Amino acid sequence: MKPTIIRARDNPFSAGRLLKVRYQWLPGSWDELLVRLTALRHRAAIVGPQGHGKTTLLEDLSARLEKNGFQVYWLRFNRQNRSLSGSMWQNVFNELHGKTVICVDGAEQLSFWQWRRLKQRSKQAAGLLITAHQAGMLPSLVQCKTTPELLANIVAQLVNEPSDQLRTISNKLFEKHDGNVRDALRELYDLFADGTMRLSKTVGKTGKQEMAMPLHSGEMRSTEFPLN
Amino acid sequence: MLKIELTDGRRQRKPGEKIEVMAQWQLDEHADSVEARLVWSTQGKGTTDVQVVQQEQFDNPSLSENRRITFTLPESPYSFSGKLISLIWALELIAEPTGESDRFELTMSPSGEEIELHSSEDDFLRG
């Protein structure tokens, strides 16, 4: 059977839809986090492996800080962007005042000297929050963790209906990617994009779409998944 | 309540066309501004990009208004969809500072239809 291809805009795992999935506590709560953050004087690290929700948590936290009257200044680093230029340093410190919290995503990408300089100069600000793969750069605010249930809940939210078959796929992807939820969701995008997991139209008033998922090589079985 | 739509309701458009837009709102509280925008955005596996092509802002608007606006569609980019990326044109109406908004999608290309980046139309499932 020829796989049916889905438009990027209709893929339930498109980046735009993933952005609407915010940080989910497992356990923990925002109240607990904010109390701990205050105790750490707003200088702390969100720690965890890749794809475990650090950036999502920092973004959600920054929104809460802004609601509480802080001004948030963002710096984002990755393997392609690992340092602050001279003009960027100037921009950063021109923006600092007593109500500014600097949020640094990917702080471990900075060199020893750049990190040391940022940490020192940020003492002029109200706070410094970072994400890092390892603990030690600043006191740990939270260690981000993932579970198969978390991934399954996110998948069910995106596809709009829980299913035993989808949970099986989700659990396998969680194991395959060592708990990296981002990579598991990206693989689900690919599975839909290339037709390995597909939507086919069913006749009916509900407008539900029927999805066929491979259980074994060459075997297809149908399950209904309504689109969002 | 905010609502934005094309006055003739016709979603399929061609590059360079002038489009007449109706922007309506009934606000529960005062807004600093209401802005109508013509935008395109990308959706798919990678980062979402958004480009505001034209806009018209109404400062200190009344709580309830109807406004007609004319936008001219540019020559590109065309609406398209593939496996990895879709480019979508839309009209947006946004009230500040609440962020309450409405959105009306349209397609723009020489034929008026979205361009499909697949080899066979039979392979392509519309969601």
**A151 HSE (CA, 13 A, CB side):** 29
Instruction: Determine the pLDDT at residue A199.
Output: 53
Q: Taking the C-alpha atoms of A182, A188, A191 and A192 in order, what is their torsion angle to the nearest 10 degrees? A: -120
What is the average pLDDT across B4-32?
96
pLDDT one-digit tens code per residue, B64-74: 999 999 999 99
Instruction: Determine the pLDDT at residue A219.
Output: 34
Q: How far is CA A117 from CA A58, A112, A167, A183, in A?
A: 22, 9, 46, 33
Token duo for residue A48: 């965890």
Instruction: Determine the pLDDT at residue A26.
Output: 80
User: Comparing A116-125, A195-204, B39-48, B83-92, which segment has the lowest mean pLDDT?
Assistant: A195-204
What is the average pLDDT across A11-39?
92
Residue B120, pLDDT above cutoff 70: no
Question: Which residue of A1, A2, A4, A5 to mutate against B (max B Cβ within 10 Å)?
Answer: A5
Instruction: Determine the residue of chain A that is closest to B81 in CA distance.
Output: A7
Give B44's contacts in chain A (Cβ within 8 Å).
8-9, 11, 14-15
Question: Are the CB atoms for A4 and A200 separated by under 8 Å?
Answer: yes
Instruction: Determine the pLDDT at residue A119.
Output: 93
User: Comparing A29-38, A188-197, B38-47, B109-118, which segment has the lowest mean pLDDT?
Assistant: A188-197
Question: What's the CA gap between B114 and A145, in Å, rounded?
Answer: 41
What is the average pLDDT across B79-85?
95
Residue A5, pLDDT above cutoff 90: no
pLDDT one-digit tens code per residue, A45-76: 999 999 999 999 999 999 999 999 999 999 99
Residue A206, pLDDT above cutoff 80: no
- Do the Cβ atoms of B83 and A16 come within 8 Å? no
Q: Which of B45, B124, B125 sits opposite A14 (nearest CB)?
A: B45
Write the CB contacts of A164 (distance below 8 Å, at least 6 apart in sequence). none
- Which 8-state DSSP code applies to residue A69? T
ipTM score for this prediction: 0.80
| Residue in this structure with the two tokens 């990206």, named with its chain if needed | A186
Work out the burial of residue A208: count CB atoms within 10 Å of its CB; fewer than 13 is exposed, 13-18 middle, 19 or more buried. middle
With cut-offs at 50, 70 and 90, classify the pLDDT of residue A194.
confident
Give chain B's contact residues with A (Cβ, < 8 Å): 43-48, 81-86, 88, 116, 118, 123-127
Instruction: Determine the pLDDT at residue A4.
Output: 64
Give the gap in angstroms from C-alpha B57 to the nearest C-alpha of chain A: 25
Return the SS3 of A72.
Answer: strand
Q: Which of A8, A194, A198 sits opposite B44 (nearest CB)?
A: A8
With cut-offs at 50, 70 and 90, classify the pLDDT of residue A148.
very high
Q: Which of B45, B46, B127 sits opposite A7 (nearest CB)?
A: B127
What is the reported pTM?
Answer: 0.79
Instruction: Determine the pLDDT at residue A226.
Output: 34
Question: What's the CA gap between A198 and A83, in Å, rounded?
Answer: 42
Interchain CB contacts (distance < 8 Å): A and B:
68
Question: Are the CB atoms for A200 and A192 separated by under 8 Å?
Answer: no
- Do the Cβ atoms of A19 and B45 come within 8 Å? no
Return the SS3 of A71.
Answer: strand
H-helix or E-strand spanning residue B33: strand B33-44
